[in-house]
Amino acid sequence: MVHDLEPVLDPADRTHATRLAVVRGELDTAPSRIGECRTCPWWEGWEDRDGPVEGCRGRLVLSDDVSLVVGGGQVGPLRARGMRTVADLAEAGPDRPADWNGEPYSDAVLRARAHRDGEVVVPKVARPTIPRADVEVDVDLESHLDDGAYLWGTLLTLRDGRPLEDEGYRPFVTWSRLPDADEGRAFAEFWRWLTGIRDRAAGQGRSFRAYCYSRAAENGWLLSSAGRFGPEGTLAVVKGVPASPRCGASSPLHCGWMFTRPSPPSSSPRQAWVSRWSRRSPGSPGGIRGGR
């Protein structure tokens, strides 16, 4: 098999030539924030033989650089459109730039406006719609890197006041070093209890909903656990783990069956709940973080 490398070699040669020009001092350079900046020793500045040297953060803040509020891959499309500062992005219209990727463009504009105005929390909706049920279970998992999920914590709440079983917190945990088949045992116990609560509620004609902090995390580990410990598990076969990690009506695992529950409101009745927000954190790289 023969591959045509010409489309790959030309861009690689151009990149190599640019880097050589930078090393030789033939091209001017300027900082631009990327993810790695949060661990870079040059971000906050350093001590030189002739005294303190201003780091990239100070230079970016001084120039109001647009990379302070967007990801590294989003800077190029903005600059190609002439938006080089946070102020430029804050005044932008609704049309997103060509080659925009990642989060919705409107979120980036909102974050730029929050940064400009010194806002810490920016509601995206006045009051989100929160689905509720007679029987509710809050689920929160804890994992160790990508090695496995060692804890499935649950909180049962009976909002209709009818008996089912004791309300409160129930942990399903393993203390084994991960990865380990005992993780599958803990997950099987969790899944058996959760589906049991769901089925018993349905049998009594009561509505049921499960909630989690981050749907991507909890649902992701549900699917991963089924794939690693189900009947065709890649790590071990553990009785009680769902048979298939596929999503769909015929699967024990339904994509999106967990709902992200927003944080509770503050003591002030005038403050609306927010399900997603943009946070301005002066101590973090760029001073801006997105979150839920």
Instruction: Say which amino acid occupies 240.
Output: G
What backbone phi and psi angles, to 5 degrees, belong to 248?
145, 170
Interstrand relation of 288-291 and 148-158 (parallel, antiparallel or unpaired)? unpaired
State residue 207's pLDDT score.
93
Per-residue pLDDT averaged across 78-86, rounded? 95
Torsion angles phi and psi, residue 142, rounded to 5: -130, 130
Q: Where are the alpha helices (DSSP H) in the chain?
A: 6-23, 56-63, 72-80, 86-90, 105-117, 181-203, 215-229
Q: How confident is the model at residue 112, as a pLDDT?
A: 94
Q: In what order do the strands lie in the sheet with 208-212?
A: 168-173, 148-158, 135-144, 208-212, 258-260
pLDDT tens digits, 191-246: 999 999 999 999 999 999 988 877 678 888 888 888 899 888 889 999 988 876 44
Does the pTM of the predicted model rise above 0.75?
Answer: no
Question: What's the pLDDT tens digit per position in 236-282?
Answer: 999 988 876 444 444 444 444 455 554 433 333 222 222 223 333 33
List the one residue out of 121, 249, 236 whose CA is nearest residue 184: 236
Going by their DSSP bridges, the two strands 148-158 and 168-173 should be labelled as antiparallel
Judged against a pLDDT cut of 60, whether residue 64 lies above it is answered with: yes
For residues 277 and 57, which has the higher predicted lDDT (pLDDT)?
57
**Torsion, Cα of 116, 118, 121, 123 (10° steps):** -40
